[in-house]
Amino acid sequence: MIVGMDIDDTITRHPKFFALISQALVAAGHQVVLITFRADREGTAAELSEWGIAYTELITSTLDEHLETGIDEWKGVVCRRMGVELFFEDTPEVIRHVDPEIVSFLVVNHDRHRLDLLAEADQ
């Protein structure tokens, strides 16, 4: 299985939980692909190591990629390219651009998304 995970406001909301999941997945032979808008690859890798996050690939963004696809669409493109089957993300706008075949889990920051979630519930 190929599992995609966002870092900021996803892994950072509960690094112990994601360390446990990522380590178990990698130990079982699955791929864990971290997809982030961060550009500082070395600093990001150092933080992930401190948190105990296991992964098989770290994909950081560049401005050029965003210009080609759009910021929200970029992670959807990466998920398709990498064959992600399960995806953890915190931004509803990003989830909207992920293929429906990919099982997506929206990590909710209640303070940030309360109004978004209420508006979607009314639709």
Q: Mind listing the pLDDT tens digit for each residue in 18-31?
A: 999 999 999 999 99
Q: What pLDDT does 71 receive? A: 77
* Domains present along the chain, CATH in parentheses: 2-122 (3.40.50.1000)
Q: Radius of gyration of the chain from Cα atoms? A: 14
pLDDT digits (tens, 9 = 90+) for 29-53: 999 999 998 888 999 999 999 999 9
Q: Please, what is the end-to-end C-alpha distance for the chain in angstroms?
A: 34
Going by C-beta distance under 8 Å and a sequence separation of 6 or more, which residues neighbour residue 78?
4, 33, 35, 59, 84
pTM, whole model, 2 decimals?
A: 0.83
Tell me the pLDDT band of 110, cut-offs 50, 70 and 90.
low
